[in-house]
Amino acid sequence: MSEPELTLYLGGTRSGKSAAAEAHALRNGGPVLYVATAMPQPDDPAMSERIRRHRLRRPDSWPLLECPRRLAPAVAAAWEEMRSAAPGGRQATILVDCVTLWVTNLLLSLPEQEDAGALECLVTEEISALIDLSRALPCRWVIVSGETGLGGIGGNALSRQFCDGLGLANQLLAARAQEAFLVVAGRLLRLAPAEELLPRA
């Protein structure tokens, strides 16, 4: 039996990656658990407005889980609650938006934020737990993440740490995904696995 489907959407700021992921979840047709890693901040009105627009775009029927860290146990608990409320029926989708803010939260949680080894270990641990959960639950997964590796090397240690941590997270998720897309200006480009591009022996 093949493992449950996971699709990854990558893109820059305002690329349309979230909208593409939401459309994917709608096409699946079943119930959707929306997992948000961004938390409203009273001192950041721009982020609050961004969150408000995302909420307006989503169907009211999608239950919301706000979780800045430790996604795997929180999603597992929310999944059990959703399944008990609506047993059977069409296959559900778990939509995680987004990994970018999740990695930011992980970075800011470290006692020493410039400790590259600590961030790598934490990202690997949390992403591995989410991947294990994605294999265990009988549902589809749609995950959104930012692509920040196209703009050169950051000008300070913290930005370099963040880009390295996010790049690691994206590679781990892409290795698990059946499909991965790069979203640019609302257009999608399918990303082929490396083995499809390597010459045959």
What is the distance between the alpha carbons of residues 97 and 105, in angstroms, rounded to a whole number?
Answer: 13
Q: Which two tokens stand for residue 123?
A: 């990202």
Q: Given this model, what pLDDT does residue 132 score?
A: 98
Location of structure tokens 């047709």: 29
Q: Given this model, what pLDDT does residue 200 score?
A: 65
pLDDT of 124 above 70: yes
What does the pLDDT look like over 95-116, one tens digit per residue?
999 999 999 999 999 999 888 8
Q: How many residues belong to the chain?
A: 201
Helix axes 71-85, 116-136, angle to 10 degrees: 20
Q: Which two tokens stand for residue 36?
A: 């948000």
Q: Which two tokens stand for residue 149?
A: 């590796």
Q: Given this model, what pLDDT does residue 31 score?
A: 93
Backbone torsions φ then ψ of 156, nearest 5 degrees: -140, 165
Catalytic site residue from 54, 70, 83, 160: 54
Q: Is 24 a catalytic residue?
A: no
